[in-house]
Chain A
Amino acid sequence: MTLSSVHHIVRVRRAEDLTFIRPGVMDEIIVNANQLENSPESTATAIQQTTLPYSIDSVLTRFQVPEWWKNEKGETKRNYDRLGTAYVKGTSIEIAAGPLLETVPSDREWAILAANVIDYQRNRLVQLRPQMDLFRPELKPSRLMAPALVAFTDAEDRINQLLASAAAEAAGEPVALPMVIPAERLRDVSELDRILECAPTDGISSYFLWTPRVTEELLLSDKSLLGGVLHLVSRLAGRGIPIGHMHATYVIAALHDIGISAVVHHMGWVDKGEPADENRGGLRSCQTYVPGVRHCVRFDTARALGRQLEAAAYMERFCNCTFCSGSFDAGQHPLDLLLEDRVVHMRNRPDRLTPTSRAVALNTWHYLLARRQEIEAFSAHPAVDVLATDIDRAAALAGGRESDRLRRLAEELQTA
């Protein structure tokens, strides 16, 4: 069987992520519009320097429910304020005044909003360029994305349909269509069919599935959720339009054989089921991604699994990414760097261990490189073959429990 490769897209959620974007580690980046509002200059510079294709996620869903755009003080953040102003230009919409569905008065204004979102994606990075960058090549997004709401009910389905066609018309070219489906509807095949009926094909270049709060563990443990994703992918695949997934876990990449052709993930290796959620600060937990078992574990578990392994065994079972192999070449065990932590003294709370900044940076590279290897494996080989190899690897590294987890996935895929 010949497989087309999986297009690998990495999401930029904060300015720090820009240090880690590189060709070879990803094929493209998608930038959250709220992050773009915070750091347009550095984002433009990173894109120009790396020459990576980019697109912009309008994050319109953030305006859907007040709690999603307000900060802890209950105020609208400045970046959302600017974004909202751009999106409602030429309308009577007061975007941060209440739930979006109740704030937009007419279909005509929804259509203007969709056109504004397209305009934003096209022009945000070329407007107001500094004098020192005027002669650099201008930036154009690789694809335009229709705005979409989380499809809680039929009401959102109707608006999503309207937004998609208005966005395609404003763009003058086919647009990517995000389909944001909450877990409650994902479990119900009849609900999925209603959503699919409303998802247009005309003017659509690709579909991007988005299943908020569905972690990899939940997907593996709840058959109805995985069944819902499989149902969606197989039905959409019949339309002949490429399908991407916005939360690229190992399980999702394994769905390449049944129709997933692009995956998007952010740079955080702790799976919270939120593909676009911004980092709200706070101390990081001491967890690292273990490619040998295809999920993240706590530092002490990672130490127990891999620290005693010599270079050859480590690279065969634990990880053989550029960082880990380079570390052995430099005479250092990679886990000594990846698991570096420090004590943080907290006011009125017990002291806490947190990874050092250096360990956070190295874990980011390690995770990106490992995920790249997984996506390349699913691009090059049938999922069952990749899984068979990974089951053996997980068993060798961590024993039966970890390999059983992957075996369950293999069984599900074979049934599908």
Chain B
Amino acid sequence: MTRDRRDALLDQDWSAVWETLPEAPPLVARPKTAQITLRIPTRLLSRIKAVAAAKSLPYHALARAWILDALRTSAPPVNSAIADEPHAEQLNIKLDNESLDVLKKRADVLRRPYHRLAREWIEAALTREEESIGIDPSLAARPAIKDLMVLLLHSPGRRGDDAIRGMTRLQKLLFVVEQKLASERSRFYAYNFGPFSEEVNDAAHALQLAGFLTGSEAVTAQPPSFAEIIATAEGRSGQDDEAEGQEFALNERGHAAAERLRKSSRAYDQLFAYIRQLRQEWDTASLNRLVDRVYEDWPNFTDKSLIKGKVEARSVRRRRS
């Protein structure tokens, strides 16, 4: 090209033509999918998991489907009911790049960060699904008694020993944990000996069947051998006279499961730390002292108690001395 020709081209106004030129190909080919990471409150993640479990779907896939559905229907933005809660968990969602572009454009039009818009859409879809399935969000978001029990048994007791002796002590400690976490819609109710929940007995039995407690063997997918038959029978031989003598402690497998649970999310790690602290505070050497404190602090769970008078008399004596 001659110098004159080059100058002539540079002098020309190309602005009108510029817009008509095709997009230059990317220097590096764009991947087909991209991942977005949403920071969400722990309670929201638990609710998503509960709905996903009820619908037999992986929760990541369900959350992605909700976002795509909102894009397809041009859903409006919604005000989050839980915007003030700390966003302690993260939810990774894979989207194809096209959808991500549409999400970004939509967020731009609505003048919202696209992460926030995606989170709000998920929350709105979740609420609709919970209503249609009949899941109470406040129940779905709280940890199961089995999870609380595993973390409680994983915490060291005051004497450095992690075993809990007797079903009464286990019931009362889990009641304290539940009340300290959130007391509304308690799974415990007033019964013959104060607060009680059959979910505690059920969870303890489940841990036993899974082979997570000391002295328990996991039920297996094999026909029973003679040795196993004898073992299950011997496991019951102490039940005739001493129901309260039962000891609850995790074995090696149980502690490994508890560690997996603790590490499963930041929320569970924090929950473990809190339960550990509660156990140090409440798991007193004397069972009577624990029962008395529970009766004093939560009198509405003692209405039907057959030992209320006895407990009150004991508390009065203790205060006097």
A interface, CB within 8 angstroms of B: 15, 18-25, 38-42, 44-46, 49-52, 78, 89, 123, 126-134, 138, 140, 322-323, 325-327, 329-330, 337, 342, 356-362, 365
Q: How far is the CA of A46 from the CA of B232 in the complex (A)?
A: 14
Is B72 located at the chain interface by the 8 A CB criterion? no
Q: Assuming the A-B contacts A40-B202, A126-B56, A132-B146, are A50 and B234 also in contact, with contact meaning beta carbons closer than 8 angstroms in the complex?
A: no
Q: How far is the CA of A126 from the CA of B49 in the complex (A)?
A: 11
Closest CB in chain B relative to A120 CB, distance in Å:
11
Q: Assuming the A-B contacts A40-B202, A130-B147, A131-B143, are A18 and B219 also in contact, with contact meaning beta carbons closer than 8 angstroms in the complex?
A: yes
Task: List B residues 241-290 near A (Cβ within 8 Å).
Answer: 257, 260-261, 264-265, 268
| A41 and B257 contacting across the interface, CB-CB below 8 Å | no
Given contacts A361-B235, A365-B232, 10 further A-B contacts (CB under 8 A): A39-B201, A50-B219, A52-B221, A131-B265, A132-B146, A337-B233, A342-B240, A359-B233, A360-B236, A362-B233
Is B50 located at the chain interface by the 8 A CB criterion? yes
Q: How far is the CA of A281 from the CA of B227 in the complex (A)?
A: 29
Is B224 located at the chain interface by the 8 A CB criterion? yes
Residue of A46, A134, A357 touching B49 (CB-CB under 8 A): A134
Is B2 located at the chain interface by the 8 A CB criterion? no
Is B14 located at the chain interface by the 8 A CB criterion? no
Q: How far is the CA of A23 from the CA of B145 in the complex (A)?
A: 29
Q: What would 11 A/B residue contacts be, using CB atoms closer than 8 Å?
A: A41-B146, A41-B199, A42-B206, A50-B219, A127-B135, A131-B143, A131-B147, A322-B225, A327-B226, A358-B237, A362-B229
| B150 and A132 contacting across the interface, CB-CB below 8 Å | yes
- B232 partner residues in chain A, CB cutoff 8 A: 19-20, 361, 365
Q: How far is the CA of A380 from the CA of B239 in the complex (A)?
A: 40
Closest CB in chain B relative to A283 CB, distance in Å:
11
Chain A to chain B: the 8 pairs with minimum beta-carbon distance, closest first: A326-B226, A24-B223, A130-B144, A361-B233, A42-B205, A41-B206, A357-B236, A42-B206
Q: Mark B146-190, 1 if CB is under 8 A from A, else 0.
A: 110010000000000000000000000000000000000000000
| B224 and A25 contacting across the interface, CB-CB below 8 Å | yes
Is B140 located at the chain interface by the 8 A CB criterion? yes
Closest CB in chain B relative to A340 CB, distance in Å:
9
Q: How far is the CA of A327 from the CA of B225 in the complex (A)?
A: 11
- A365 partner residues in chain B, CB cutoff 8 A: 224, 229, 232-233
Is B75 located at the chain interface by the 8 A CB criterion? no
Q: Mark B35-65, 1 if CB is under 8 A from A, else 0.
A: 0000000000010011001101000000000
Residue of B139, B205, B261, B268 touching A128 (CB-CB under 8 A): B139
Is B134 located at the chain interface by the 8 A CB criterion? yes
Residue of B nearest to A126 (CB): B53
| B50 and A128 contacting across the interface, CB-CB below 8 Å | yes
Residue of A nearest to B234 (CB): A358
- Mostly, the B contact residues are helix
Is B210 located at the chain interface by the 8 A CB criterion? yes
| B223 and A22 contacting across the interface, CB-CB below 8 Å | yes
Is B218 located at the chain interface by the 8 A CB criterion? yes
- B50 partner residues in chain A, CB cutoff 8 A: 127-129
- B74 partner residues in chain A, CB cutoff 8 A: none
| A41 and B203 contacting across the interface, CB-CB below 8 Å | yes
B interface, CB within 8 angstroms of A: 46, 49-50, 53-54, 56, 133-135, 139-140, 143-147, 150, 198-199, 201-203, 205-210, 218-227, 229-230, 232-240, 257, 260-261, 264-265, 268
| B144 and A322 contacting across the interface, CB-CB below 8 Å | no
Closest CB in chain B relative to A271 CB, distance in Å:
23
| A18 and B54 contacting across the interface, CB-CB below 8 Å | no
| A129 and B53 contacting across the interface, CB-CB below 8 Å | yes
Residue of A25, A45, A78, A134 touching B53 (CB-CB under 8 A): A134
| B53 and A128 contacting across the interface, CB-CB below 8 Å | yes
| B147 and A49 contacting across the interface, CB-CB below 8 Å | no
| A357 and B240 contacting across the interface, CB-CB below 8 Å | yes
| A39 and B135 contacting across the interface, CB-CB below 8 Å | no
| B260 and A132 contacting across the interface, CB-CB below 8 Å | yes
- A123 partner residues in chain B, CB cutoff 8 A: 54, 133
Closest CB in chain B relative to A289 CB, distance in Å:
15
Q: How far is the CA of A41 from the CA of B205 in the complex (A)?
A: 8
| B198 and A38 contacting across the interface, CB-CB below 8 Å | yes
Q: How far is the CA of A361 from the CA of B202 in the complex (A)?
A: 19
Q: How far is the CA of A243 from the CA of B319 in the complex (A)?
A: 69
Residue of B nearest to A130 (CB): B144
Q: How far is the CA of A20 from the CA of B139 in the complex (A)?
A: 32
Q: How far is the CA of A365 from the CA of B238 in the complex (A)?
A: 18
Closest CB in chain A relative to B190 CB, distance in Å:
13
Residue of B139, B226, B264 with most chain A CB atoms under a 10 A cut-off: B226
- A342 partner residues in chain B, CB cutoff 8 A: 240
Residue of B202, B203, B222, B264 touching A131 (CB-CB under 8 A): B264
Closest CB in chain B relative to A153 CB, distance in Å:
34
Residue of A nearest to B142 (CB): A128
Q: How far is the CA of A322 from the CA of B50 in the complex (A)?
A: 43
- B264 partner residues in chain A, CB cutoff 8 A: 131-132
Residue of B nearest to A363 (CB): B233
| B198 and A21 contacting across the interface, CB-CB below 8 Å | no
